[in-house]
Amino acid sequence: MDPGMCILELLGVFFSIGAWLCSLATTMMSRWLTLSTELLPAESYEMGLWGTCVVQDLGIQECRPYDSLLGLPPDIRLARVLMCVTLATGLLALLLAIPGIYLVNSCKGLETLRAKRTLKMLGGILCVAAGILGLIPVSYIAHLTVLRFFDETVPNVVPRWEFGDALFCGWTAGFLHLVAGFLLVTSCICLQEEPCALPVAIPLHKRANSAEQSSRRRTEYV
């Protein structure tokens, strides 16, 4: 197998694992949005998918989960669902892509090559889908935050939510998922299906003919 294809496969799996871990961190982080006020400069507020937190200057953090699922804002509810779907899709992509790389098992025939190529292709497509699904809630909440921040109908004295670290982590996860899917799909497209070098069996009648010819040559010399 071409070493370049092996490098593409390993990079695709590596980026896919990193993207899934970033998506998991994005889902669990409480810093999707942050808010600080001039009235209470010693405290800042954080909003995540699972609850809100109050952080003090001394490093003390108190978090409170949301009381009701149905009472959540629509954007938070949508982000919850899409991030969970992203995690499931990214994990399924990993489970398909890892057995599909050619360094996992030795080559055992053309059918095995096709099966591994199919698994790797499905893993790459699911990685791309996970990247798109992960970028939707992060970008949507960022879009709403920008609109609310520059809303002229709200007085300037009212504190406004700003971007948190989880949004940047989510953008990173989506980008890594897209890169991983592109690498896996590219390795499938560029790879040529070639059967493994298997031992060729010599027909018995040819062996017999060669043995007869050698015996005749010996008798002629005698």
What CATH number does the domain containing 13 carry?
1.20.140.150
pTM of the model: 0.80
pLDDT of 41 strictly over 80: no
The reported pLDDT for the residue numbered 202 is 47
- Residue 117's SS3 state is helix
Condensed to tens digits (0 to 9), the pLDDT of residues 44-59 reads: 889 999 999 988 877 7
Condensed to tens digits (0 to 9), the pLDDT of residues 4-16 reads: 778 888 999 999 9
Number of domains in the chain: 1
Residue whose C-alpha is closest to residue 173's, from 114, 100, 93, 68: 93
Give 219's pLDDT tier (boundaries 50, 70, 90): very low
Domain that holds residue 93: 3-221
pLDDT of 67 strictly over 90: no
Condensed to tens digits (0 to 9), the pLDDT of residues 161-189 reads: 899 999 999 999 999 999 999 999 998 88
Locus of tokens 């409480």 = 30
What's the mean per-residue pLDDT of the chain? 82
For residues 45 and 170, the answer to whether their CB atoms sit within 8 Å is no
For residues 44 and 58, the answer to whether their CB atoms sit within 8 Å is no
